[in-house]
Copies of this chain bind each other. A is one copy, B any other.
């Protein structure tokens, strides 16, 4: 092994590795401290050629590696649990090209999302992807996890942003799929295999992504609705009237709002009377979208679909409305521990799913306080249950697996997914085995065996044992 290490170190040169535990440590721990790994060696290749040489050697010597982007993942996919060698592409951070006419950006996989956003902005365009961790996450990590974020309703997940990829395969071979074409029907679309594969089929070293025109106008409203059925009806009406220009449609309950009002400094209820449910919605695009959005909203108030609405009249008011939604995680954390789920269902099944799952969890754990919220426009709910005040956190969190299975079973019955955005990693491998058909699991295993026969790429992740 020490011989392999010496060869690896010579591939990347003095600046390209670390064996210093202090430097490696931040790469070993998931940011919520849920997972901690160990690794004797951190490799920091500076080029695709170096990544290729690393994997050629690792393949020849059966040496396992874990590729890591910005280490912001939530399911443990980026953590070396068994002493694997860590590979970070942080030094591969060059934006290779921004082409305004072509509306595309080509960059190394180690480029941080915020830097890609900045480069697009400088060219008068924008990257569609936006999420809380954008100052840390890298393109490689975002693509490997098919990241979502706040603009999915309008622009789709990361998969829909990717035009081309450069990938190093398990045996070190470089696969150059780095094209910026919008139309290219020339055989199997191989890049799709690596998007969302959590680094188990290859290491993404560069990507070409789409850029978009920046919206000229935006309209944001905080809307009270009597129930989740009304929320989904509101969604359909607003999508119709804005012709698909909604970029956000976020659900929260009164209980959730109350937590924000209590725990977040400066937060205030924008409406005069309480409502059991709320939607934060926003449309954006050409000049005039605001008027269309407001007129559509007025009609829903007249028709009783919506009960009340506050429309942001300034950027300050808009920020205040968004803060009610964005501070939700912080407020829940301040309130105490939660049993959490990142699930999705068809939008039309959301109301029934929420009601059914709340009833089922209440039956098993009456003290759990449901605080569902999230991207209802995509059917994606952060379906959380807050511990009752004064309870014992350890005893409460001991119900995690049991409650999760109750919730996931009901998600599954509603045609939903046990992981909408976060992926599988190590956390949801058992769920994958439980909810996927045998044929689907077997096909995943076959792909893994075929393209990483020695199981050196992020072993133990995504695919159930």
- Report A's interface with B, CB cutoff 8 A: 99-104, 124, 145-146, 148, 152, 156-157, 159-160, 169, 173-177, 179-190, 192-193, 195-197, 201, 212-216, 232-233, 235-236, 239-245, 285-289, 291-292, 344-349, 375, 378-380, 415-424, 428, 431-432, 435-437, 439-440, 443-444, 446-447, 450-451, 462-463
Chain B contacts of A182 at CB under 8 A?
152, 157, 344, 378-380
Give the residues in chain B near A436, CB-CB below 8 Å.
Answer: 186-187
Across chains A and B, which 9 residue pairs bring their CB atoms closest together, nearest first?
A: A192-B192, A101-B348, A288-B288, A184-B417, A183-B420, A102-B348, A182-B378, A243-B285, A102-B346
Complexed CA–CA distance, A287 and B102 (Å) = 28
Kindly report how many copies of this chain are found in the complex they form together: 2
CB pair A346 B180 closer than 8 Å: yes
Q: How far is the CA of A447 from the CA of B463 in the complex (A)?
A: 18
Residues of B within 8 A of A440 (CB): 175-177, 187, 190
Tell me if A187 and B101 are in contact (CB < 8 A).
no
A444:B236 contact, CB within 8 angstroms:
no
A-B contact pairs, 5 of them (CB 8 A): A169-B439, A174-B439, A185-B417, A245-B285, A288-B292
Residue among B232, B375, B439 making CB contact with A101, cutoff 8 Å: B232
Give CA–CA (A179, B440) in the complex, Å.
13
- Whole-angstrom distance from the CB of A458 to the nearest CB of chain B? 13
Shortest Cβ distance from A236 into B: residue? B101
The answer, among B185, B245, B446, for a CB contact under 8 Å with A286, is B245
Query: Which secondary structure dominates where chain A touches chain B?
Result: loop
Which residues from B are CB-within-8-Å of A232? Answer: 101
- Contact partners of A462 in chain B: CB under 8 A: 187-188
Known: A185-B422, A213-B242. 12 other contacts (CB 8 A): A103-B347, A157-B182, A181-B344, A181-B416, A183-B421, A184-B417, A184-B419, A187-B436, A188-B193, A285-B286, A286-B292, A288-B291
Are the C-beta atoms of A179 and B286 separated by less than 8 Å? Answer: no
**Closest chain B CB from A89 CB (angstroms):** 20
CA of A375 to CA of B432, assembled, Å: 41
Cβ-defined partner of A146 (8 Å) among B185, B235, B451: B185
> Which of A181, A215, A242, A451 has most chain B Cβ within 10 Å?
A181
Quote the shortest CB–CB distance from A43 to chain B (angstroms).
Answer: 22
Contact B157 A160 (CB under 8 A): no
Q: Which residues of B contact A99 (CB under 8 A)?
A: 346, 348
Q: Output the nearest chain B residue to A197 by Cβ-Cβ distance.
A: B188
Which of B185, B379, B415 is the one whose CB lies under 8 Å from A421?
B185
